[in-house]
Amino acid sequence: MGIDLSIDFCKVRCENPFFLSSSVVGSNYEMCAKALKMGWAGVVFKTIGFYIPNEVSPRFDAFEKENTPFIGFKNLEQISDHPLKQNLIWLKKLKEDFPNKVIVASIMGEKEDEWTELAKLVTEAGVDMIECNFSCPQMTSEAMGADVGQNPELVKSYCKAVRKGTNLPIISKMTPNLHNMSIPAIASIEGGANSIAAINTVKSITNIDIDNFIPLPNINGKSSVSGYSGKAVKPIALRFINEIAKNEKLKGIPISGMGGIETYKDAVEFLASGASNLQITTAVMQYGYRIIEDLISGLSLYMEEKGFKKLEDFIGAAVNNVVSADKLDRNYIIYPKFDEDRCIGCGRCYISCFDGGHQAINWISKDRKPVLNRNKCIGCHLCAAVCPINCISSGEILYK
Ligand SMILES: Cc1cc2nc3c(=O)[nH]c(=O)nc-3n(C[C@H](O)[C@H](O)[C@H](O)COP(=O)(O)O)c2cc1C
């Protein structure tokens, strides 16, 4: 077949771009070993530190829609609650037992000397890279978490502190809970980081129980704003990755992308947006480590079909196709085209066009068929977006 999924990330060879992201899915030796044996190229071990959290129960909530069990996922988990010594033993054994896989230690300190010490300890344990977690939105210690990632001075000084303790590649993991990610990303690189990872979870309230007005998960009558992940955050992740990939000051800085990756198609979108490494948690929590098989075969088949031999052939290919809204071509409209043979006559295009569009679809109730009124259609394609069987596509173009 001649397809090569291997890639250098921060000058470390990875057999494919897929890593477990730092979370519950990689929180002990046994879990990571199972995933690595199944084909994951690397693991970013659950964030470790001197701080040992006392966790709540329950700690998750799912955001659902219609028949989809969850489109987004909220968690209240902090960093590892295993003793640091135990985590270091697991990291060391993972590297010894899987020398050809990539073992990344995710660390979080409360002050500079803790960041330096953690960097030294994980370097001694033999890991390949260090990821700095500046971005957990539900830490109970004020000196840690997502708010650190919003403060470029702190990010820079903590990266410097980590650099003092290691010569390994440093990945700086960003919070999406800000407007402009480039600011802390540039500060990270100035502080000595080599790469940017995005995104950590998005601050959220997912659901409120309307019988007792308690947000979920209900922890003895209360809940907290905390991290949202999974498919629903993919659009937010791609937006930030595009921002990092485009920034002139971050040119050439390797990006590790995550946030809602579930399928090979998601993977292609992140790679085309400039990521050269991909990390996953929520899809693994839902479907298990075995998704790696579909990710690898799906990505390989996609590349074969497109004639790509290696990932570099299309990494970043979509970056410059995102432009500011004032640069978009506004000189034409595309009319929708209805496939009458496939149309099931559900009327959703008609309802949406009337109530949310420009009243450009007439409804022949006898035939249960939509008929387009070109004099009113402005080519918004809402009809195509709501069609449940995808029988509406782009048709004729009218130049203004
Ligand atoms: C249960 C859970 C625990 C997590 N713990 C950590 C963590 O310890 N360190 C960290 O950097 N990110 C943590 N994350 C964030 C993930 O690594 C990842 O950035 C985020 O979930 C987006 O990716 P996903 O949509 O594939 O889950 C956690 C996420 C979840 C759902």
Residue 193 is part of a domain; what is its CATH number? 3.20.20.70
Ligand 1 site, residue 194, Cβ cutoff 6 A: no
| Same-domain status, 219 and 334 | no
The predicted structure's pLDDT at residue 135: 85
| Same-domain status, 35 and 57 | yes
The whole-number mean pLDDT for each consecutive block of 10 residues of the chain, a chain of 400 residues, reads 91 98 98 98 98 94 90 96 98 98 97 97 98 88 81 96 98 96 98 98 97 98 97 98 98 98 98 98 98 98 98 98 98 97 96 98 91 97 98 96
Q: What's the CA-to-centroid distance between 366 and ligand 1, angstroms?
A: 53
CA dist 155 and 12 (Å) reads 24
Per-residue pLDDT reduced to its tens digit, 26-49: 999 999 999 999 999 999 999 999
Residue 275's contacts (CB-CB under 8 Å, 6 or more residues apart) are 17, 241, 245, 255, 256, 257, 315
| Same-domain status, 259 and 236 | yes
Q: At what angle do helices 234-246 and 264-272 cross, to 10 degrees?
A: 30
Boundary (domain end) residue, out of 321, 342, 367: 321
Ligand 1 site, residue 46, Cβ cutoff 6 A: yes
The predicted structure's pLDDT at residue 334: 98
Q: For residue 133, give the ligand 1 atom closest to its CA.
A: 11
CA dist 123 and 168 (Å) reads 7
Residue 237's contacts (CB-CB under 8 Å, 6 or more residues apart) are 176, 198, 199, 257, 258, 259, 260, 270
> Where do the DSSP E strands lie in 113-230?
129-133, 170-173, 195-198, 202-204, 208-209, 214-215, 226-229
CA dist 199 and 22 (Å) reads 11
Q: Are 14 and 42 in contact (CB under 8 A)?
A: yes
Cis link prior to 217 (omega < 30° from 0)?
yes
The enclosing domain of 343 has a CATH number of 3.30.70.20
Q: Are 385 and 351 in contact (CB under 8 A)?
A: no
pTM for this prediction: 0.97
Q: What's the CA-to-centroid distance between 46 and ligand 1, angstroms?
A: 9
1 lies in a domain? Answer: no
Residue of 51, 200, 228, 241 best suited for mutating to test ligand 1, as the one with most atoms within 8 Å of CB: 200
- Single-letter residue type at 322: V
For residue 4, the 8-state DSSP code is B
275 lies in a domain? Answer: yes
The predicted structure's pLDDT at residue 1: 56
- Residue in the block written with tokens 């130049």: 399
Boundary (domain end) residue, out of 296, 321, 346: 321
- Residue in the block written with tokens 């994980």: 122
User: How many independent structural domains does the chain possess?
Assistant: 2
Burial environment of residue 295 by CB neighbours within 10 A (0 to 12, 13 to 18, 19 or more): buried
Residue of 277, 281, 286, 292 best suited for mutating to test ligand 1, as the one with most atoms within 8 Å of CB: 281
Ligand 1 site, residue 87, Cβ cutoff 6 A: no
| Same-domain status, 85 and 231 | yes
Domain ranges, residue 55: 7-321
| Same-domain status, 270 and 380 | no
Residue 233's contacts (CB-CB under 8 Å, 6 or more residues apart) are 72, 176, 199, 201, 202, 259, 260
Residue 331's contacts (CB-CB under 8 Å, 6 or more residues apart) are 399, 400
Q: What's the CA-to-centroid distance between 281 and ligand 1, angstroms?
A: 6
| Same-domain status, 371 and 231 | no
264 lies in a domain? Answer: yes
Residue of 229, 285, 287 best suited for mutating to test ligand 1, as the one with most atoms within 8 Å of CB: 229
Burial environment of residue 67 by CB neighbours within 10 A (0 to 12, 13 to 18, 19 or more): exposed
> Catalytic annotation on 136?
yes
Per-residue pLDDT reduced to its tens digit, 162-174: 999 999 999 999 9
| E strand or H helix at 280 | strand 275-280
- Which of 32, 132, 136, 387 is labelled catalytic? 136
Ligand 1 site, residue 172, Cβ cutoff 6 A: no
- Residue in the block written with tokens 């090569």: 4
The residue whose C-alpha atom lies closest to atom 15 belonging to ligand 1 is 200
- Residue in the block written with tokens 């600011």: 183
Q: For residue 231, give the ligand 1 atom closest to its CA.
A: 25
The predicted structure's pLDDT at residue 119: 98
| Same-domain status, 224 and 363 | no
216 lies in a domain? Answer: yes
The predicted structure's pLDDT at residue 326: 98
Ligand 1 site, residue 258, Cβ cutoff 6 A: yes
